Structure 1
Amino acid sequence: MDFEEAADALYAAPAADFIARRNELAKQLKADGDQLGSTRLKALRKPTVAAWLANLVSREQPDEIDDLLALGDEFREATADLDGERLRELTPKRHKAIDGLVKAAGELADQHGQKISADVGQKLRETLDAALVDPAAGDAVREARLSSALRHVGFGVVDENGEPSNVTALTDERRQAAKDRRAKAREVEVEEAEQESAAERKAREQAEREEAERKAEAQAEFEAAVKAAESAEATVEELDGQLTDAQEALENARDEVRRLTAELDEAKKVARDAQKESREARKRYNRL
């Protein structure tokens, strides 16, 4: 075991066991002949609860941490380019990424029997934001060996006491290893996206065909309904016209009935008068 492996094992230990674990690992390094590594390990500080939580989520959610740091690269590029539109697009992604990690950290803490206060949660959020904003802080968070939570204050990164952070830059070898991990993760995502299985592609294409058929059927039903409505409307208009004509014909017929009735009444009166005159004439004739 070398110093790097011992340091990783130390910060992966439960916070309550930190001191005992540090002494144990330092003793092992010394026994292996690494006196310098043993001395360096003894100098490592016990993490605060917020730092322990940040280290925990970094170990358990490495892909999400890599995504956060990659988002930080995009932010810096957009800022350098004065690309306001791009920054507005990235801002909600920034909040979503940090919110997701804070939620995951809370669940992990529960699994380890650690209660997390609102203050610790806020410090974790500030640490993750500092990791996104500051590349050195991002590397430190990714390495999961923080002893204090971090906070970006505009001119740099400070620890929980407000003092300039003693986050040290990684060696070129470890920094390159971190970049390689992020690059590899992105390559895997691209490969997974491109290597869609034949079954999945077939299912997707089948679903697309079925959706197209449903849309075509719905369109046909809609067009048929429109035609039926137009036909019904035309029928209504035709019957309405026929009804109007019939009503006009009925009114004309009623006028004709009234006229003929009046003429009939007049003819009956004339006939009665003629009959009366005929009777009178016959009477006059008989008296002769």
Structure 2
Amino acid sequence: MADDPTDLLAVADELYGLPLAEFTPARDAHAKRLKGDDAALAAQVKALRKPGLAAWVVDLLARRDVEQVQQVLAVGAALREAQASMSATELRELTRQRRQLTAAVTQRARALASDAGVRVTPAVADQVEATLTAAMVDERCAQAVRSGLLVAPLAATGVDEVDVAAALATPEALGFAPTAREEPVPAPPTLRVVPDPDADEKARAAALEIVEEATEARDVARADHEEAQRHVQELEARELQLQAEIDEVRRRLAQLESDAEEVEDDLGDAEEAQASAAETLEEAEAALGKAQSALDRLAD
């Protein structure tokens, strides 16, 4: 290990600020130059990893547009504070700002890379945006992004711990601030607008076309509304009819239940009368038997 880790950070700061294609030759040249004076530092420099494209774009942003990166980190800090205090209103607003800001800053990073002659594909842009989002969600990711010494993109959910050290050129980079390298902004080209002689007519034609399309859309919407209204009226009428039928069935059921109760009562009375008549019949038959026997004896 080198005696002073700032020596390694100073070399890394220079290397990771170079165009991506120049990184490896410059790193090897540094290591070779240092080998005679500080073998340990030379070995550390030689071990510095070439950044992936997404990480290089974020490093470029950290050097070329410090203000944008600071804004990302500030919103991230506010977002984490809102989460800790459970302020729902502030949390929703900051989350919306986070999405808007990460998208805008990603576009800025792509523009910087384009100015440096590097094309950023949508897939790489997604990794850049994920890294910026991680910087907002996780404080250590924020420090890693600010260092300008990333070698790999970051991703954070806010729940699982992120292996930040694996994405940095060296663990000592956490908390490091890179050397800002603002590039002069070229003056915009002078534009001269040539008036179109048919501009008014074209504008009227375009407006007329818009009116016609809007009228057609209105007519279609009106027809759909009228059809839906008719369907609602039909269903309401059917609902009333079915409700009336249900009420009639309920009334009829109530009547049948009442009739059944009366029949049940009458049946009980009839069964009692039947039992009494059967007993009377039995007594009458017994009396008839006795009378017949007496008659038979007199005849003898």
* TM-score band, normalised by shorter chain: 0.5 to 0.7
Post-superposition CA distance 1:8-27 (Å, at most 9, x none):
11111111122111111122
Q: Does structure 1 residue 127 correspond to structure 2 residue 159?
A: no
2:235 maps to: none
Identify which of 14, 19, 37 aligns with 2:24: 19
Q: Normalising by the residue count of structure 1, what TM-score does the alignment of the two structures yield? A: 0.54
Between the aligned partners of 1:133 and 1:82, the Cα distance in structure 2 is 15
Between the aligned partners of 1:166 and 1:110, the Cα distance in structure 2 is 24
Q: Which amino acid aligns with 1:81?
A: S
Between the aligned partners of 1:97 and 1:106, the Cα distance in structure 2 is 14
Q: Report 1:230-241 matches (<5 A).
A: none
Runs of 4+ in 1 over 6 A off after TM superposition: none
How many residues end up aligned between the 2 structures? 171
Q: Which amino acid aligns with 1:34?
A: D
Taking a change above 3 Å as real, the CA distance of residues 169 and 82 of structure 1, as seen in their structure-2 partners, is farther
User: Which of the two has greater helix per residue?
Assistant: 1
Identify which of 139, 149, 154 aligns with 1:145: 149
Q: Report 1:252-267 matches (<5 A).
A: none
Post-superposition CA distance 1:27-64 (Å, at most 9, x none):
23334x23222111111111111111111111111121
Structure 1 regions of 5+ residues with no counterpart?
A: 182-288
Q: Does structure 1 residue 156 correspond to structure 2 residue 161?
A: yes
CA contact (8 A) 1:71 1:94 kept: yes
1:218 maps to: none
The CA RMSD over aligned residues, in Å, is 2.4
Q: Report 1:97-116 matches (<5 A).
A: 97-116=101-120
Q: Which amino acid aligns with 1:19?
A: T
Post-superposition CA distance 1:114-172 (Å, at most 9, x none):
1111100000000111111111111111111111111114313368xxxx94547657x
CA contact (8 A) 2:60 2:148 kept: yes
Post-superposition CA distance 1:72-99 (Å, at most 9, x none):
1111111111111110121222122212
Q: Normalising by the residue count of structure 2, what TM-score does the alignment of the two structures yield? A: 0.52
Q: Which amino acid aligns with 1:12?
A: G
Identify which of 50, 53, 56 aligns with 2:54: 50
Post-superposition CA distance 1:239-262 (Å, at most 9, x none):
xxxxxxxxxxxxxxxxxxxxxxxx
1:35 maps to: 39
CA contact (8 A) 2:76 2:136 kept: yes
Identify which of 118, 121, 125 aligns with 2:122: 118
Identify which of 9, 14, 19 aligns with 1:9: 14
1:80 maps to: 84
Between the aligned partners of 1:36 and 1:62, the Cα distance in structure 2 is 32
Between the aligned partners of 2:162 and 2:54, the Cα distance in structure 1 is 16
Q: Secondary structure at the match of 1:68?
A: helix
Between the aligned partners of 1:48 and 1:62, the Cα distance in structure 2 is 21
1:59 maps to: 63
Taking a change above 3 Å as real, the CA distance of residues 5 and 98 of structure 1, as seen in their structure-2 partners, is same
CA contact (8 A) 1:53 1:109 kept: yes
Post-superposition CA distance 1:167-203 (Å, at most 9, x none):
47657xx73x75xx9xxxxxxxxxxxxxxxxxxxxxx
Q: Secondary structure at the match of 1:7?
A: helix
Between the aligned partners of 2:7 and 2:35, the Cα distance in structure 1 is 10
Q: Secondary structure at the match of 1:116?
A: coil
Between the aligned partners of 1:92 and 1:24, the Cα distance in structure 2 is 46
Between the aligned partners of 2:167 and 2:117, the Cα distance in structure 1 is 29
Taking a change above 3 Å as real, the CA distance of residues 61 and 16 of structure 1, as seen in their structure-2 partners, is same
Identity %: 33
